Structure 1
């Protein structure tokens, strides 16, 4: 017999919920704000969150976490590479740098799925007015 896990109110979001959150996030962003992050579902420290990009960030590396995401809205570019120049830790679990060396660019559109292994430099470019991802970090073993 399979028992259902207890619900917490944070373990499910419908497609309509996601669409409404994406719209609200876009409206709430201030002029010049290039990025917003909002958790959608959570299980303790594990979180799936919306990332709303209006402007590209800096090249980044998560040394101890892989990043899994689905493109929800907008369009952009995923740039990855084997190394990054000018890397400095800007917060726990995040190193930001100046440039990805020998980049590989992939276009992104709604429905695309991506998995960036832990330690891989990456950067998101924006095509048009936004790129919205639903993603989570996965601890490396």
Structure 2
């Protein structure tokens, strides 16, 4: 009889916990207009800094979302544990993928940065385009003089 009561108690606790979890779950929605409005602040930060700025919008168990603004080219980078998905909202840029990092340095766990990416493929990006960059693939975002790009990023944890 004790085993039956224990199993019932465990089942009740699990269902209760799932109910609490479901009540705290929510969806997130950002319109293009809202993202562009938020990006105005990032543009100000970029003008005061090195020409780029980003912010994390929301964190989830195995991914997170960001908004990024760039008016200058960035260096090369490799994320060993996260894939990048870029949704170009406004502007124009070129993404270089593949090849190798020039003057690569480890900047954190699973993160490498370099001066640039050498030997990669180039893809022109404009508003409405989407790019998926798998974890471990060197990449660099290039922005021409006088241009800028605003993009929504989903960073997805990939099991290796």
Q: Which has the larger share of strand?
A: 1
TM-score by length of 1: 0.82
Moved over 6 A (4+): 7-10
How many residue pairs get matched?
138
**Aligned partner (choices 96, 115, 129) of residue 113 of structure 2:** 96
RMSD: 2.4
How is 1:1-141 mapped onto 2 (pairs within 5 angstroms)?
Answer: 6=23, 11-43=28-60, 46-127=63-144, 128-141=146-159
List gaps (5 residues or longer) in structure 2.
Answer: 1-18
Alpha-carbon contact 2:46-2:69 (below 8 Å) kept: no
Q: Which of the pair is proportionally richer in helix?
A: 2
TM-score, length basis structure 2: 0.74
| Larger deviation, residues 86-95 vs 9-18 | 9-18
Paired with 2:103 and 2:121, the residues of 1 have a C-alpha distance of: 19
Q: Helix, strand or coil: the match of 1:11?
A: coil
Three-state SS of the structure 2 residue aligned to 1:29 is helix
Partner of residue 15, structure 2: none
Pairwise CA distance, 1:120: 0.6
Bigger Cα Rg: 2
Most deviating of 102-111 and 43-52: 43-52
What are the ranges of 5 or more consecutive residues in structure 1 without an aligned counterpart?
A: none
